[in-house]
Structure 1
């Protein structure tokens, strides 16, 4: 029954969405009427037999401090008058002294509490208590409060329920501000019709700021709407192979030579170095001469296709730079060659 009553009060405090109109800060003083439901059996202290401690009614006082919107703390003293069971006398005096911490839900009127109490009847017993309460303000500084709590004995296994009804006076000020009265809204003037800004070429830059109209939608643009460019390295390579002891260019390499011609025409600032090589067969002096002759043969093809001779250089390395140093037919075939690589830098558009 005690636990059921406490659960109902806890549920009411939890689901409440009320907010206090004032938020107290500072010291407060309270007095209260107190009801305490005890069920203590076989307590020694009256006559020679055991007695039972039953309900108590009494009064008390408390001194507290509100730290902020959510937290406060207090000390309390209660003068108790317990009914007795199984003794000649009808009641016995007692007192309760302790401290509590209070948490105010959303700074509103409902709060939870927890603390420690010493209850002295015949002898002193220590209890832990927890509960809920409600405080109603009549003015900024004057309020009434009701609370209920469950008490659990720490030295003996008593489980009790108590309730308090009191009045509080707050010495501190309030922190809430009165509700601001909003002035009546002024008539809203009709906005002038303004044409939406245009971006005709859909490049993300409005026409009024666009210095380069009609840029392709695939181009990345700068803040002025002009296409962005970046430098990109481009290359073309050439590899022409030759039979043993031969410097004549085979027909199968003419397309590759034409690709180099196209690249040189597209990049008139470039030049090409043709490097001739031989296999390791034969005498070194002869191979040096043959490698140069092979490079000159390829150069003649470029000149015949329109490339100015001043843009072409030839050099023979003979057998000094072998691709494959093995003494096999495959290695000798790979080493008889003319190589070239032409590098240029193009300025190309950056794409979105």
Structure 2
């Protein structure tokens, strides 16, 4: 396994000799996808099976806001496997990085903060080395190696990734130094093509920069439809319009979901879920004609009748907060306790019990919105 990891590292380090290139780019953004090899710390999942390494897929979006500096957000999903009898576990990792390009080249070092979730959630700091290999002006190949350190448990992971990105909005330094053709009278026609160099401000001109002999039909609201064909005058400038110059609307379905967990044998709402309840109540207030069913669930531990009672009590606890603290009409909220009849995880593990002790609620509304440009 270590030989495989070292061999993959060599792929990213091939860029070392290109530090002296003068390919500096300013104000460039990119979007990319990648495959990733991930090597986990040997003690990371003890006493559970030892998930050693595996592969994943990810996405990233970055902005290079100067020749030397950039930042990006990154997400990936990785499946790790054991060495012996094959078992696997899937997890997600996401966060933000800061990138530094030495000598303003395509070679960079980076560091950042990540949140990783398998069975539990870990907070990681990572450092690494990478390069954007140019294939043409927009497309690049990404190669990276990185080390990840867990603040809480002290675990150390490593990864190698290879990806592909599309860059947009880039501007070369050489472009900025090129001679600029002026438009002195600001009529939209550059001086080297302007036969009327001193056109009065706000004049309508032809492609030679001279005032048009005949006035065009006015378009008072600048929506692209002339006044003589515009059935909706004074349309807001940001609206998309139809052939009659009227704003275009569409009905969009919007939804809000409630997903809360409870401690064993408890119906007390966790303080960490109050922000979720506040957002849910805001949605209900915004759409007063909606109704919602709050579903209470329990784990498979204990007596089934007791579990039904406990799950309904959990649903009622949530309803009471929405009614008393957020003034939601109680007639809009129904509660039901399913006990352990709808388990999300039937494995009977500690993790399964935590997942199954929950509140679920979904509410849907239709919102009519303008389409903007």
TM range (shorter): 0.3 to 0.5
**Structure having the higher Rg:** 1
More strand by share: 1
